[in-house]
Amino acid sequence: MPRIIRLHRIGGPENLKLEHEASLRQPGKGEVKLRVQAVGLNRAEAAYIRGFYLERPELPSRIGYEAAGVVEAVGSDVDSNWMGKHVATVPGYSMNRYGVLGEEAIVPASSLAQYPTRLSPTEAAAIWMQYLTAYGALVKFGDVHAGDFVVVTAASSSVGLAAIQIVKAQGATAIASTRTSMKRNELLSLGADHVIASEEEDLVERVKELTGGKGARIVFDAVAGPFLEKLAAAAAPGGIVFEYGFLSPQPTPFPLVLALTKGLSIRGYAIGEITRDAERLRAAKQYIFERLEDGRFQPKIARVFSLSQSVEAYQYLESNAQIGKVVITI
């Protein structure tokens, strides 16, 4: 009997329960069954557990977006060549229907992606959410290029680190923002050109100093809330602020005066803009795969937990102590 994790009540990670499933259903039309080897944890699931995500849990609910594993069975209308392949899942499906945290999981075949053989399953579970999220904003819509200055907030998160790698690969300058100086040295070692500790330094003045007074053409922000005012002030005239998260529990006032005087674009963005468009997703997968394969991109693993430690793993994710991806191995 496969072991799986289910959420039984809205609240904190303590409401996740390890259960033995008598029999996992077989894959239906357009689906496959995975023998799961590793699952990468994301802020999306932390918000889902607490009832703050875009999708409301239908209890009891499975959980988990990002798995690496081996295809064990395929449903109707699925290419049988997937059988036995080592794959990772591309987020974008419903966790209510397709949560992956457990020894086995049913997922849409459309979510499957192979990964470079040089990566372990643990690393493969730390690819698609972070790199696709950053790619969409920075490359597809932001057209980041040499000469650009890019501010990346929540820079020690897995998406933040992926964004730094993409900014550097495109020849631009990465300015990492983090709350305190505790993570400064590691962020610099992981590729950031500059690090600003936003609770210890004046972010706006530091960005002006680092950019020769121009400001940042792109801001990639996971925080929102009142912090958006500072980010708008740090942006260059004609710049763009991508809001892809809402880590701040406070409302997000629109910085109207700065938007008007600078001609700023302040844009909501989510990974679905890439995953729901077949051509965009194909291009994104190719871009990311090539750079993972040749080593220009390397997922950073913060800490690894076992399946029986799932509660502790999500608690650690919420602690903000990590630099990189938290992964559960099966």
Query: Which tens digits make up the pLDDT trace of 59-113?
Result: 999 999 999 999 999 999 999 999 999 999 999 889 989 999 999 999 999 999 9
Quick: pLDDT tens for 220-260: 999 999 999 999 999 999 999 999 998 898 999 999 999 99
Q: Report helix, strand or coil for 272.
A: helix
pLDDT score at 100: 96
Whether omega before 60 lies within 30 degrees of 0, making that bond cis, reads yes
Is 120 domain-assigned?
yes
Task: Indicate whether 324 belongs to any domain.
Answer: yes
In terms of DSSP bridges, do strands 265-268 and 235-243 run parallel, antiparallel, or are they unpaired?
A: parallel
Instruction: Express each pLDDT in 81-92 by its tens digit.
Output: 999 999 999 998
Whether the predicted pLDDT of 289 surpasses 80:
yes
* pLDDT for position 19: 94
In angstroms, how far apart are the furthest CA atoms of the chain? 63
β-strands 235-243, 216-221 pairing = parallel
Tokens representing residue 219 in the block: 């801001």
SS3 221: strand
* Band of residue 138 on the pLDDT scale cut at 50, 70, 90: very high
Angular region, 296: left φ>0, alpha ψ -120 to 50, beta rest: alpha
Q: Structural domain of residue 48, as residue ranges?
A: 3-127+299-329
Do both 123 and 146 map to the same domain?
no
Is 24 a residue whose pLDDT tops 80? no
Quick one: 82 and 155 in the same domain? no
Q: Please tell me whether residues 313 and 251 are part of one structural domain.
A: no
Decide if pLDDT at 265 tops 70.
yes
Report the chain's mean pLDDT, rounded to a whole number.
96
What local confidence, expressed as pLDDT, does residue 78 receive? 95
∠210-212-213 over CA atoms, to 5°?
A: 105
- Count of structural domains, the chain: 2
Say which CATH number the domain at 258 has.
3.40.50.720
Q: Identify residue 107 by its one-letter amino acid code.
A: V
* CA 324 from centre of chain: 10
pLDDT at 22: 67
